[in-house]
Amino acid sequence: MSRDTEWRRVRVIWDYSIARLEAGIAAPYAAQPMDSDAFAAFYQRSARSLWAYLARVCGNPALADDLMQEAYLRFLGVPHLPDGEVACRRYLFRIATNLLRDHWRSPRTSSIDELPETLFAVGSGSDASDAQLMLGPAMAQMGPRDRQLLWLAYAEDYTHNEIAEITGLRSTSIRLLLFRARRKMARLLRNKTSAERGCA
């Protein structure tokens, strides 16, 4: 390709990009991967699960709101989304997990370990289920990574490979970490149950 032809091609791309930007349309290299209706449907199907994950792992509903919004904004900013809703959903959880990690690493925010236990405990109102009343305090005694692993495995039913993809850990590590986490969680839940029975 001659220099003149190359220059003309660059000029055409440049003029086209400027014209589209002035018209308020995104540049062609940033094509929207999902249209508005498809996103609305995907949001309705995935948002509640994502919020539940964020709220139960970080223990702060307001923070979960912010992180969920940021997760969807980043999700929509990805130029090439994976094919299929299951893969998109997994990708969304991965973004949310990274946001949680960034939040905990940020020096301005308090560490998850410093959060008061009351954040994880649900209200004692009549709408709180028995399992929820047991799970909240038990979750508060787990580390943040254990909370993530347990939620992904037992609330979202993800396999070890999928959890590895979401958290960025190795699949072989997930097996061991999850084994320890679930043993500790089961012990905490049993202790809570036996303590409640003792009180009754």
Partner 1 sequence: MMLGQCAREKDVMALLRSGGWPAACEPELREHVEGCSLCAQTVLLKSSFADALAHAKDEARLQAPGMLWWRAQLRRRNAAVQRVNRPIAGAQWFALLINLLAAVALLASQWRHLDRIAAWFSGIANGPVFHPATLWAMAEQQPGWNLMILIPFIVAFVVLGGITVYLASER
Of residues 136-165, which lie at the interface with partner 1 (CB under 8 A)?
Answer: 150-151, 154-157
Pick one of 19, 73, 87, 195: the residue that binds partner 1 (CB under 8 A): 73
125 binds partner 1 (CB under 8 A): no
- Shortest spacing between CB 157 and partner 1, in angstroms: 6
61 binds partner 1 (CB under 8 A): yes
72 binds partner 1 (CB under 8 A): yes
Contacts of 136 (CB under 8 A, 6+ apart): 120, 121, 122
- Shortest spacing between CB 48 and partner 1, in angstroms: 4
Other Cβ atoms closer than 10 A to 151: 19
When the beta carbons of 4 and 130 are compared against partner 1, the nearer one is 130
Classified as helix, coil or strand, 200 is coil
- Shortest spacing between CB 44 and partner 1, in angstroms: 7
Question: Sign of the C-alpha dihedral, residues 86, 91, 93, 94?
Answer: positive
3-state secondary structure 8-50: HHHHHHHHHHHHHHHCCCCCHHHCCCCCHHHHHHHHHHHHHHH
Classified as helix, coil or strand, 169 is coil
CA distance linking residue 38 with residue 133, whole number of Å: 37
Per-residue binding letters, 82-111, with partner 1 (x by CB under 8 A): ------------------------------
- Shortest spacing between CB 84 and partner 1, in angstroms: 19
CA distance linking residue 65 with residue 50, whole number of Å: 10
CA distance linking residue 94 with residue 152, whole number of Å: 11
- Shortest spacing between CB 107 and partner 1, in angstroms: 25
| Residues near partner 1 (CB under 8 A) | 17-18, 21, 24, 26-27, 30, 32, 36, 39-40, 43-44, 47-49, 51-52, 55-56, 61, 65, 69, 72-73, 76-77, 122, 127-132, 134-135, 150-151, 154-157, 175-176, 178-179, 182-183, 185-186, 189-190
